[in-house]
């Protein structure tokens, strides 16, 4: 399922997009947002892969909002104004739908995103191999072996991840957090935020919904993952 958010300040418009999303089996609506500021909160707490977003909105325009995102999901603009189309594709939008939007055009845009995600997933699997005790990842034209015990945490950075290690420099590789999470043993690693997976064996300090590494690195635990992490804490900490 592709998790997506509909963003539009017009109630009827956002409901229409939400209705279209509900008709497509591979899309899952995470939230309907009436502003970019509302969407910011949703994105901080959820692993969203796709935004259907209007451009003209009162607090911050959809275009400026997309430009501000450090970790951009796939973008489909939904707008009544054709003059922003070139700028839309400059920020790497997958599609640009003009209102009134027909379901057939909406479905075409959704299929474009699905095809891109499927291609990306296939490519990432080729760049990542895991066994019970180690990973092989491609980094800077090299294949690097990483022992699972040496991993502290894994951080998402745009289209890359950074694997933070105990006694050596971090390793960057072009795979998604979701892809590497699927390769890691679930009893040893846990996603605690849309941008972080932690090695549970390396968790020793938890403070105010944050995991503390080396007394200075703080990994946030978001609402989406808090309950599962708390279950682990309750079972393993006295």
Q: Tens digit of pLDDT for each residue in 158-185?
A: 778 899 999 889 998 888 888 888 888 8
CATH H-level, domain 128-236: superfamily: LytTr DNA-binding domain (2.40.50.1020)
* Mean pLDDT in residue range 175-204: 90
Task: Determine which helix (DSSP H) or strand (DSSP E) holds 40, and give its type and residue range.
Answer: helix 36-45
What's the CATH architecture for 2-124?
Answer: 3-Layer(aba) Sandwich (3.40)
Residue 83 tokens read as 């003059």
Whether the model clears a pTM of 0.75, i.e. scores above it, the answer is: no
Quote the radius of gyration of the chain (alpha carbons, Å): 20
Residue in 29, 31, 53, 57 with CA at minimum distance from that of residue 42: 31
Domain-wise residue ranges, the chain: 2-124, 128-236
pLDDT tens for 74-108 read 999 999 888 877 787 788 899 999 999 999 999 99
The answer to whether the CB of 207 falls within 8 A of the CB of 217 is: no
CB 176 within 8 A of CB 210: no
């Amino acid at each position: 399922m592709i998790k997506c958010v509909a963003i539009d300040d017009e109630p009827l418009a956002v409901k229409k997009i939400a209705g279209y999303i509900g008709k497509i089996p591979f899309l899952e609506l995470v939230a309907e947002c009436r502003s970019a500021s509302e969407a910011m909160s949703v994105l901080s707490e959820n692993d969203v892969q796709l935004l259907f977003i209007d451009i003209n909105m009162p607090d911050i325009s959809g275009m400026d909002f997309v430009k501000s995102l450090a970790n951009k999901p796939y973008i489909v603009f939904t707008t009544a104004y054709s003059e922003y189309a070139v700028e839309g594709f400059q920020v790497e939008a997958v599609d640009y739908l003009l209102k009134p939007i027909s379901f057939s055009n909406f479905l075409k845009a959704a299929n474009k995103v699905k095809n891109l995600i499927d291609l990306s997933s296939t490519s990432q699997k080729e760049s990542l191999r895991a066994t019970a005790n180690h990973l092989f990842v491609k980094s800077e034209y090299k294949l690097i072996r990483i022992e699972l015990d040496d991993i502290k945490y894994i951080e998402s950075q745009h289209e890359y991840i950074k694997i933070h290690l105990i006694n050596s420099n971090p390793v960057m590789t072009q795979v998604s957090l979701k892809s590497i999470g699927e390769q890691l043993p679930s009893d040893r690693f846990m996603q605690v935020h849309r941008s972080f997976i932690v090695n549970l064996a390396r968790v020793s300090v938890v403070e105010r919904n944050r995991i503390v590494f080396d007394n200075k690195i703080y990994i946030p635990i978001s609402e989406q993952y808090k309950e599962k992490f708390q279950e682990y804490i309750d079972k393993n900490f006295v």
